[in-house]
Amino acid sequence: MEDSNFYSQLLIRGLQAIFIIYTLRSISLQQFKTNMKNLFLRLKFYFKKVYRITAGCKHFKKFVWQELLHIHKLNNWRHGVFEANSYVETFFSITEDTNASYYYILNENYLNCRVDVIKDFAVEITTDIFILAAHFNNLIQNGIVVVNVESRNVQYHAKADTTILSLYPVVIYSLIKNHFDVSKDVKWAFDKMIAENEEPALIMADFIKMVNEKNNENEE
């Protein structure tokens, strides 16, 4: 009985939005159409969220997987789908002349993003690699730079909860974009350190200076 009342209230709240049209006065036909379109989209999003809530957490992985594939198709990204293992491999340009494989791996709890930033680094710079990774991990808000000593590579990982992604699909695109943007910064820093044989602290100082300059340009 309580469940019935709960879902009834959800339905009523959604239908109440329809009465917004009665407040539309003295507006152009074009504005009316725009308002109705926005109302329809908001109702569509609302009822989709209600449906996903009532479907239960056991279906969240399926919803996120569908949205992930939809985003790739919509943006026409070059990618491969490995449905049996629940992951997508996508090819982005991590630098102007270098492509990288970005992996989006889905399990019951998280959508995980992963990309190799550096492969097969020299053994003698292992300490500097760890120091620079630690600097980034102190700076990055969402994600982590991972160093694998055995394979001598550096990866950047990020993830988000499937519950949030199922109810707010737009976050999936934000996760992918943020992971990509940060991976380019991490790649730049490690490439610069290796090519110029600079100290990790100096590399981070240059990176922070570059970020501040970009932020100042955007504010102007």
Same domain membership, residue 140 and residue 51: no
The answer to whether residue 32 scores a pLDDT higher than 60 is: no
Mean pLDDT of 22-48: 55
Same domain membership, residue 121 and residue 86: yes
Range of the domain at 22: 2-55
Mean of per-residue pLDDT scores for the chain? 83
Same domain membership, residue 83 and residue 38: no
Domain at 133, CATH number: 3.30.1460.10
- pLDDT of 16 reads 57
Start-to-end CA distance of the chain, whole Å, equals 58
Same domain membership, residue 191 and residue 159: yes
Same domain membership, residue 74 and residue 12: no
> How many domains does the structure of the chain reveal?
2
Last residue of a domain, one of 14, 37, 55: 55
Same domain membership, residue 147 and residue 132: yes
- pLDDT of 48 reads 56
Same domain membership, residue 126 and residue 107: yes
The answer to whether residue 182 scores a pLDDT higher than 80 is: yes
Same domain membership, residue 47 and residue 85: no
Last residue of a domain, one of 13, 36, 55: 55
pLDDT tens string 48-76: 555 555 655 567 788 899 999 999 999 99
Query: Which two tokens mark 33?
Result: 């159409």
- pLDDT of 92 reads 97
Same domain membership, residue 113 and residue 15: no
DSSP string of the chain? -HHHHHHHHHHHHHHHGGGGGGG--S--HHHHHHHHHHHHHHHHHHHHHHHHHHH-GGGHHHHHHHHHHHHHHHHT--EEEEGGGTEEEEEEEEETTEEEEEEEEE-SSEEEEEEEEE-S--GGGHHHHHHHHHHHHHH-SS-EEEEETTTTEEEEEEEEEHHHHHH-THHHHHHHHHHHHHHHHHHHHHHHHHHHT--HHHHHHHHHHHHHHHHHHHH-
Instruction: State the pTM of this model.
Output: 0.75
Among candidate residues 162, 159, 157, 160, the one with its CA nearest the CA of residue 147: 157
Same domain membership, residue 138 and residue 38: no
pLDDT tens string 86-141: 999 999 999 999 999 999 999 989 999 999 999 999 999 999 999 999 999 999 98
Cα–Cα distance for residue pair 130/138, rounded to 1 Å = 12
The answer to whether residue 80 scores a pLDDT higher than 80 is: yes
Same domain membership, residue 46 and residue 76: no
Same domain membership, residue 85 and residue 176: yes
Last residue of a domain, one of 25, 40, 55: 55
